[in-house]
Structure 1
């Protein structure tokens, strides 16, 4: 800082000398003007020499002295402290005397005032007195340790739930009207079909699984041509399938399977008083021991299982003797036999709107064979409306042979209506 101010003072002296020489050389000022301002120049030079001497002797310059020195090289400004210092007996403030001399002799040289400079420097804050904070001294106290509050925490342990549930409900209602003079003939009729499927399955993801399925179907139809019955059943099924498995491999299980099925109520043919079926007439129960293979194919679209049982027990029961003879029970109400059994349960979702469910069941002994193949095609329009096509061929050589169809039986049903799944 001292070197910078010294260099600035020397430049000022040289500038003043050059200006004086140029003035004399050009003849711009008269001798009277020089004589009049001689004292002004002498005071200015004395101030610069005083600054130079102070810079040589002092290592550091205070902020107040630094501000006063800068006033010599800035545009002439009217400072309030210069006027107030004129009434003080201070012989060292040569800079103030030089500025006062300029104010008195040449007031036209004053370009601005200290008040205007303060307005321009609005962000500047001059602190005339140091800010002192009153500190209240207190005795130092030892910190009080925080005592942790122990509160009881209720810990809830949730056991894994290995049960899963699933259900399907459907209800279809049909009405068909044909006038008496319709050129193709026919008759008016009303029909309805309700179906319910519920599943409750247990799988602990380790070695054990237990699958349970309950299927219920019941359909009614009324026709004017049947003079004996106001309505007849078109579909009647009550079936329970339960399967207990112990894992042998990744997809294979040792399995015990139970299948029991009958129907809800009586069944007749048109204009025929003969009772063809009733609740527990017949009742079929099949228990088998074998292995299951889990199916998960075509990117999880085709799922299900194959059940193969080399050892199976089958029982037929009918509480009506006439029905017992018709289904192959020669004596009494029961028929027992042993054989082999297989069951295939698959569900193939072609898309979100179309799926196919199939069940293939087979049982055979040395004397008779049964084969059932149930196929249900479901076309879903939205969450609640769907159409179904049910195709059911069946083979049973344990009953009397029919003249037209031999041992084959066939049922087909198409419907559209309400459906809900969860």
Structure 2
């Protein structure tokens, strides 16, 4: 039986090799041999040449007529394929921060005082393993000391200040040694078993965005690319600056004060506005200044307050550059006061609005300097205008004021001139020195002479800024005018006004 099976397998393999060895493919249809005889079956066998079979590549090209080449990756497709950055939620960040926060190791019932450990004896007993005492010595420690020993660098009284601390430390070591000797079963922890390294968070950083291959299909050229248009900012020819301050000075004296005196409240207000123009060789400076100083007058039976310093001033300077920092200028100034002032226990008005007022105009030259330093917030601004030819007009609209404070007497009479015309020279200088961010010095000098009379003013103000909106001011104003009558109580042409105040200050 085995021999028959082996012979049948060899027979099958032989026929299969013959079929593959031929150059043609024979197709034999399946038919029912019972119905067809052997002659007709021989006629149905068809032979096909393999060269007549279609090419596989041409067949694939016919099936893929709509196939297109891959499109290069652009920025829009990159944004679509780029994944969002992996970030932790605020809740997870808070949980991690609270886990590593050592303050969370204490319960909600523990206060800040409970977290201060003042003595290790109140903690669980820790076995340190130090058997030998610290002061164990087997030789004389003073044997090698020199005969002459200099005085200690630290005074004895300073060392004595730590005596209580050393005694408390020795007492704690003695108690620990006693428990270690007599009650070793109370030790629950050892120094070797405590963790040596602190737990540190491990930062896990993963690059979410993968590098996409970029296919360059064409060389990039910038021949057809136009440069961006040059941006030229609009120049500002007009500049402005504003300062406002409201200073308060208060003095209270009780009625039983041993040296006497009266309480007073001083209110000082100053508004200063600058609006300048500069273009080419032309420079125009405009200033507006309003100052009011009002204080309580408890000794005045007619009114409860008085005015000591009241100025309303408008100043304009038009300059044309001559050389370097020198300008040919036309300078003008208008000055008066806004509030009415009276003498103590008197109804005679000393001055008021347009009573008097003065107008000054001059032709000359001006020196203008603006300097900045390497030190931050340090700057210097200085200008002086010399009017070689000046005209001053002074007048009052109210003849009932104290004319002796402002005008001269007519020659040979007791009457005063209520209208004056003077020709002479004028010097007007301004200095603004910023020492640092908080300290500054402002000074203004005015000098006018008709070659027979002199009128001068020198104003100084030191500002100490405590913050952006609060500052202290020290103001010293001196004025000299020999064209008015002297005061009976003060026989001098020099007038002085000094004030120390604290209050609100604002700039822009």
Q: CA deviation at 1:130?
A: 8.0
- SS in structure 2 at match of 1:180: coil
Name the CA distance, whole Å, in 2 between partners of 1:349 and 1:218: 24
Q: CA deviation at 1:194?
A: 1.4
Superposed CA offset, 1:124-166 (max 9, x none):
xxx99984364659xxxxxxxxxxxxxxxxxx99864311111
Are 2:253 and 1:178 equivalent residues in the alignment? yes
Counterpart in the other structure of 1:263? 337
- SS in structure 1 at match of 2:360: strand
Retained in 2: the 8 A contact 1:324–1:330?
A: no
User: After superposition, where does 1:129-278 map in structure 2 within 5 Å?
Assistant: 131-132=60-61, 134=63, 160-204=235-279, 206-278=280-352
Counterpart in the other structure of 1:396? 481
More strand by share: 1
Are 2:253 and 1:324 equivalent residues in the alignment? no
User: After superposition, where does 1:306-385 map in structure 2 within 5 Å?
Assistant: 306-321=384-399, 322-330=401-409, 332-385=417-470
| Change in CA separation of 1:319 and 1:325 when aligned onto 2, cut-off 3 Å | farther
Retained in 2: the 8 A contact 1:228–1:272?
A: yes
Retained in 1: the 8 A contact 2:266–2:296?
A: yes
Counterpart in the other structure of 2:17? 88
- SS in structure 1 at match of 2:267: strand
Are 2:490 and 1:416 equivalent residues in the alignment? no
- SS in structure 1 at match of 2:402: helix
Q: CA deviation at 1:301?
A: 1.2
Q: TM-score, normalised by structure 2?
A: 0.52
Q: CA deviation at 1:414?
A: 1.2
Q: CA deviation at 1:234?
A: 2.5
Name the CA distance, whole Å, in 2 between partners of 1:227 and 1:292: 49
Q: CA deviation at 1:173?
A: 2.9
Report which stretch shifted further, 319-328 or 252-261. 319-328
| Change in CA separation of 1:220 and 1:402 when aligned onto 2, cut-off 3 Å | closer
Unaligned runs of 5+ in 2: 1-11, 22-55, 67-230, 411-416
Retained in 1: the 8 A contact 2:311–2:337?
A: yes
- SS in structure 2 at match of 1:88: helix
Retained in 1: the 8 A contact 2:272–2:287?
A: yes
Name the CA distance, whole Å, in 2 between partners of 1:174 and 1:86: 129
Name the CA distance, whole Å, in 2 between partners of 1:85 and 1:395: 142
Name the CA distance, whole Å, in 2 between partners of 1:292 and 1:268: 39
Name the CA distance, whole Å, in 2 between partners of 1:86 and 1:372: 136
- SS in structure 2 at match of 1:132: helix
Q: CA deviation at 1:85?
A: 11
Give the aligned CA root-mean-square deviation in angstroms.
Answer: 2.9
Q: CA deviation at 1:253?
A: 0.8
Report which stretch shifted further, 185-194 or 230-239. 185-194
- SS in structure 2 at match of 1:236: strand
Retained in 2: the 8 A contact 1:354–1:377?
A: yes
Retained in 1: the 8 A contact 2:385–2:428?
A: yes
Name the CA distance, whole Å, in 1 between partners of 2:260 and 2:365: 54
Retained in 1: the 8 A contact 2:341–2:352?
A: yes
Name the CA distance, whole Å, in 2 between partners of 1:161 and 1:295: 20
| Change in CA separation of 1:221 and 1:158 when aligned onto 2, cut-off 3 Å | same
Name the CA distance, whole Å, in 1 between partners of 2:245 and 2:268: 8
Q: CA deviation at 1:359?
A: 0.4
Name the CA distance, whole Å, in 2 between partners of 1:419 and 1:323: 35
Name the CA distance, whole Å, in 1 between partners of 2:15 and 2:505: 110
- SS in structure 2 at match of 1:337: strand
Superposed CA offset, 1:301-331 (max 9, x none):
1112111111000111112334334422446
Superposed CA offset, 1:219-239 (max 9, x none):
221132211211111321100
| Change in CA separation of 1:85 and 1:315 when aligned onto 2, cut-off 3 Å | farther
Q: TM-score, normalised by structure 1?
A: 0.63
| Change in CA separation of 1:84 and 1:340 when aligned onto 2, cut-off 3 Å | farther
Point out the structure with max Rg over C-alpha. Answer: 1
Superposed CA offset, 1:353-390 (max 9, x none):
00000001101122101111000100001110011111
Are 2:366 and 1:281 equivalent residues in the alignment? no
Retained in 2: the 8 A contact 1:281–1:323?
A: no
- SS in structure 2 at match of 1:273: coil
| Change in CA separation of 1:226 and 1:325 when aligned onto 2, cut-off 3 Å | closer
Q: Aligned residues, how many?
A: 288
Report which stretch shifted further, 295-304 or 167-176. 295-304
